[in-house]
Amino acid sequence: MKILPKLRIGKLQPKFPIMQGGMAIRVSTGKLAGAVAREGGIGLIAGSGMKLDKVRHEIRQARSIANGGIVGINPMVVDDCEAGGHLGADRLARDIFPEVKASVKIPVLLAGGVIDQHAIIAAFKFKIKKCLHQFCIVRALIEAREGHFDRGLVFAGEHVYRIKEILSVGEIFDRFFTGLENAG
């Protein structure tokens, strides 16, 4: 059994079968999406809270960094408390993923909890948010991103305590995938 399956979206196939999460409120911007795409994954831009001109700018920026890699925008994602910012979930995404996938006729991705090779292997065993309410946390998330923590709101996935250093996308991919290409 080969651990790393091939991921194909239409005619596109990244080097690694991994898609960076589309983290909203200007976290998943062109810089991050371009870096992920350049290293062999699929980089995603989250357009939440951005005006159309800004989204276009982020797409151009991502493509300029990606060196021919794959860049996309906001797919359908199943995530949970292991993905940053999703508090109050009582079931893990990996437990509900099969139900969601069976109930829709569009590609569905699993997100959250991927922090090491063990999580990569577990994830591969599995063969867009819009604020419509009077109160929305968009402003608080933007404040936090801009460094105004006294007025902002910061979320992290439940495994954030395991992160001990800041690494480049290339270093993270090396840690995730080195040795898995031919494992089985």
More confident residue, 117 or 176: 176
Helix ranges restricted to H, 3-124: 30-39, 52-66, 93-103, 117-123
Asked if residue 47 is part of any domain, the answer here is yes
- Give residue 131's pLDDT: 40
**pLDDT at 65 (0 to 100):** 97
Residue 166 lies in a domain: yes
How many Cβ atoms from other residues are within 10 Å of residue 112's Cβ? 25
When pLDDT is cut at 50, 70 and 90, the band that residue 143 belongs to is confident
Q: Percentage of residues in the chain with pLDDT exceeding 70?
A: 64
User: How many domains, the chain?
Assistant: 1
Q: What is the pLDDT of residues 13-55, one digit of tens each?
A: 899 888 887 776 677 889 999 999 999 999 988 876 677 788 8
- Average pLDDT of the residues in 79-103: 69
Q: Is residue 18 part of a domain?
A: no
0.75 exceeded by pTM = no
Domain that holds residue 51: 30-75+113-177
- The verdict on residue 135 lying in a domain is yes
